[in-house]
Amino acid sequence: MSETTPTKLDFIREIIADDLASGKHKTIITRFPPEPNGYLHIGHAKAICLSFGIAEENQGVGARCHLRFDDTNPEKEETEYVESIKEDVAWLGFDWGEHLYFASDYFEFFHGCAIALIEKGLAYVDQQTPDEIKAGRGNLQSPGSNSPFRDRSVAENLELFAKMKTGEFKEGEVVLRAKIDMASPNMVMRDPVIYRVLHVSHHNTGDAWCIYPMYDFAHPLEDAKEHVTHSLCTLEFEIHRPFYEWVIEHCPVPATPRQIEFSRLNLTYTVMSKRKLLTLVQQGQVDGWDDPRMPTLSGLRRRGYPAPAIRSFCKGLGITKFKGMTDIALLEHEVRALLNKEAPRRMAVLDPVKLVLVNYEEDRSEALQVVNNPEREEDGVRDVMLSRELWIEQDDFMEDPPRKFFRLGPDRYVRLRGGYIIKCVGFEKDAEGKVIEIRCEYLPGTVGQDAPEGVKCKAAIHWVSAQFGKKAKVRLYDRLFTEENPDGVEGGYESVLNPASLETRDAWVEPVLTEMKPEEVCQFERLGYFVADRRDHRPGEAAVFNRTVALRDSWAKKG
């Protein structure tokens, strides 16, 4: 994959261009460092496209982007998440090549850096309780107070840290803290914890370690170990940058990376917290991390969002330090724009009512040629079988239609998509008054021809042959939340879950749809864009389709 550098550079790309021009760096090394404690979501896509995109734009100087797993918290991390993250990054179109790394590969390096800090008198073992440590840090209005263990000798700290490593302490009984400034106005700099005891098996190192570095300590050391030049983070890490730079300054590192922050992506009608998304999964509010209503990349992929549309969306966001909310309609617009050009058209009926062509012979059928995609002439046409009995949408017929309703009604004409003009000559209703059958006459000689003189035909409707059509399961997905900012409502995000976010229909579809491969996308004419479900659709056996997006934004009028 290759994308051109934007004409106007954002502030991060300007920094990088200046660093190359000045000779500060001969090449550029970025990284995408997810923690494997959940699935990636659309917010991560912005960071992925930035770090990998910058590497691609600077391939002329040998730039690269590392995929690195910050796996320093074994309590929440799983191999399942590691594999899903690799799959998602590759699906977006990015390649890390040989540069796949794990923080856990550097545990010995981190340990050595911690010992170096102790030997310099810049780290100490603290045996206060977690509550005592928290209370001693003070608050934004008052400075913290020194730990009673802060002035231990180097020898004593080395001995105690060694006992931590060999498992002689319980969890929470002891920690290693950096010795910086308990009166710092930046709370992060008030002697932060850099190592804690965890008697937990690690997905990568097993039981080799029972002490694990804190993320803020490991993060700069990982970057330095890999000779990262520009460590790109979202804005919540800005307050952590002084400690990042302190660690680089005082530890024996082979390089000096620079941390730069940018605004994270916040989408309307969406929550971006992995913790909250995990809660939805665990409570059964959604069907797993890849539920098509989820903002996870695996969910968007299963819903049929094309990776190029997501990349285009991220590119259009720009890179700034401005905190704001992005309308999810912008993402849906990118999806529609791409699929309108590329998706083949097919016919499916989701709310069927029988239509009988009363002047069409019962044993007759014929193949009609229907355009595959009016946006791509090279896609040609396909044959669709017509028979005497058809399925059409319930709402394509009205018993007493208003003036501007141009579809079927008594004595009205419409065209069958790709076929004849037909006229309604009667209909039947059941005991509840619902129309159950529509009777029509077809006008011979009108396939591909203008309406005869005196015939007013202003619309074409889609249809499926009752004789040749196939059954399919269709899932109509909508937004998962009813409020623009689910995190901001008084009752919490779970109180505004959309009860209509999923509707399942038994549909009739033209036969070619049942042979589509999983993840193939098409437009159901006049209904929206749909994808063959990557988990449940089985060609020739079970046809299951998910609605990717409607043809237009049905929420626009609700604003």
Radius of gyration of the chain (CA): 31
Amino acid at residue number 154 = V
Based on the residue annotation, tell me whether 226 is a catalytic residue of this protein: no
Q: Alpha-carbon distance 354 to 100, whole Å?
A: 57
Based on the residue annotation, tell me whether 83 is a catalytic residue of this protein: no
Which entry of 264, 417, 473, 505 is annotated as an active-site residue? 264
Which residue's structure tokens are 């180097």? 154
Q: What angle do CA 247, 249, 251 make, to 5 degrees?
A: 60
Based on the residue annotation, tell me whether 241 is a catalytic residue of this protein: no
Residues 6+ apart with CB under 8 A from 14: none
Give Cα separations from 79 to 73, 202, 289, 330 (angstroms): 13, 10, 15, 33
Amino acid at residue number 529 = Y
Q: Is 127 helix (H, G, I), strand (E, B) or coil?
A: coil
Residues 6+ apart with CB under 8 A from 423: 411, 412, 413, 440, 441, 443
From start to end of 343-479, where are the E strands?
Answer: 345-346, 348-349, 352-357, 365-371, 381-387, 389-393, 413-416, 421-429, 435-443, 460-461, 464-465, 470-477
Which entry of 225, 274, 293, 311 is annotated as an active-site residue? 274
From start to end of 186-308, where are the E strands?
Answer: 193-197, 211-213, 230-234, 258-262
Q: Alpha-carbon distance 223 to 254, whole Å?
A: 10
Which entry of 3, 35, 78, 342 is annotated as an active-site residue? 35
Q: Alpha-carbon distance 17 to 2, whole Å?
A: 19
Cβ contact 398:407 at 8 Å:
yes
Amino acid at residue number 221 = L
Q: Is 467 helix (H, G, I), strand (E, B) or coil?
A: coil
Q: Which residues are catalytic?
A: 35, 264, 274
